Amino acid sequence: MLESWNWEGWYTALNKPPWTPGGGTIGTIWGVLYPIIFITYGWVFYKIYKKKIPRSVLKPFVTNLIANFLFTPLFFGAKNINLATIDILIVWITLVWGIRTICKYSRLVAYLQLPYLTWVSIATTLQLYIFFNN
């Protein structure tokens, strides 16, 4: 198990685009995004709990969270480029779906998802490059 998490040499050897962000940059980005995700998704879950918005709104948000948390174990743990690529596409699709869905109930929450969407779009482009070039 520990050997599977020895990903640095594997990742370094992958063919990546020259604009690939460094680990520190990625960490900083997630350090900003996770609080935004926590607050906005928490608002969605709270409003659903209070029956202020329909339960169906939950689907894209829950699916997005699951896919988001699965990416690291799939890509860096299992070193499975194929499944990680499918996963990041699910993250992107469910994020767009969630933004479209929540916009009817809170434009603010929808707008606050735009930095997350921007980053996931960049990460998806990076992952697709890795998928097609490795």
Alpha-carbon distance 58 to 115, whole Å? 20
How far is the CA of 60 from the CAs of 39, 43, 98, 112, in angstroms?
16, 14, 5, 16
Mean pLDDT of 15-27: 95
Statement: residue 3 has pLDDT above 90:
no
Statement: residue 80 has pLDDT above 80:
yes
| Total-model pTM | 0.93
Q: Which residue, among 91, 98, 24, 13, has the nearest Cα to 61 in the 3D structure?
A: 98
Instruction: Please give the CATH topology (third level) of the domain spanning 3-133.
Output: Ferritin (1.20.1260)
Q: Give the ranges where 1-22 is alpha helix by DSSP (H).
A: 8-13
Statement: residue 81 has pLDDT above 80:
yes
| Contact (CB, 8 A) for 11 and 76 | yes
In whole numbers, what is the pLDDT of the chain averaged over residues? 95
pLDDT band with cut points at 50, 70 and 90 for residue 92: very high
Alpha-carbon distance 92 to 64, whole Å? 8
Statement: residue 2 has pLDDT above 60:
no
| Contact (CB, 8 A) for 79 and 1 | no
| The two structure tokens encoding residue 70 | 């699965």
Mean pLDDT of 100-121: 98
Structure confidence by residue, pLDDT tens digits, 22-62? 999 999 999 999 999 999 999 999 999 999 999 999 999 99
% residues pLDDT > 70 (the chain): 96
**Hey, where are the domains in the chain?**
3-133
pLDDT band with cut points at 50, 70 and 90 for residue 6: confident
